[in-house]
Amino acid sequence: MVFNSFAFIFVFFPLTLAGFLFLKRQGRQGATVWLLLASLIFYGCWDYRFLPLLLASILFHFWAGQRIIGATTPLARKRWMQMAVSVNLLLLAFFKYTDFFIQSANTLTGAHFPLLKIALP
């Protein structure tokens, strides 16, 4: 499902919005959980195999956010933020550029390392 599909525009988005508005009246926590579940469903409709990666990223960044909030000095907050951003960049680099570097190595050295054909989640 993509953002401009009829399924998203006429089914998923209205149900998600209605559920959010209803649950928001009951309290913020229920609405937040609803949006989290809707996001996982939306993402899972594209490729459910990447859901563990998404969940791991969510949990890691929640943990890092707690460390940033709990840091006692500006330098400690900065270090935690740098670490969290670095993890994001490393994940992006792995999924986006691994095959590029393998192919470049093959071209430069004449090697025949197989491409991993990793899809960017």
Nearest to 81 by CA among 58, 53, 95, 61: 61
Q: How many helices (H) and strands (E) does the chain have?
A: 5, 0
The series of mean pLDDT values per 10 residues for the chain, 121 residues long, is: 90 97 95 95 90 93 97 97 96 92 94 89 71
Phi, psi of 112 (to 5 degrees): -130, 50
pLDDT value of residue 72? 95
pLDDT value of residue 98? 94
Helix (H) / strand (E) element for 107: namely: helix 74-109
**Dihedral-angle region of residue 113 (phi above 0 means left; psi in -120 to 50 means alpha; beta otherwise):** beta
| pTM, 2 dp | 0.77
* Measured distance CA(12)–CA(17) in Å, rounded: 9
pLDDT value of residue 112? 93
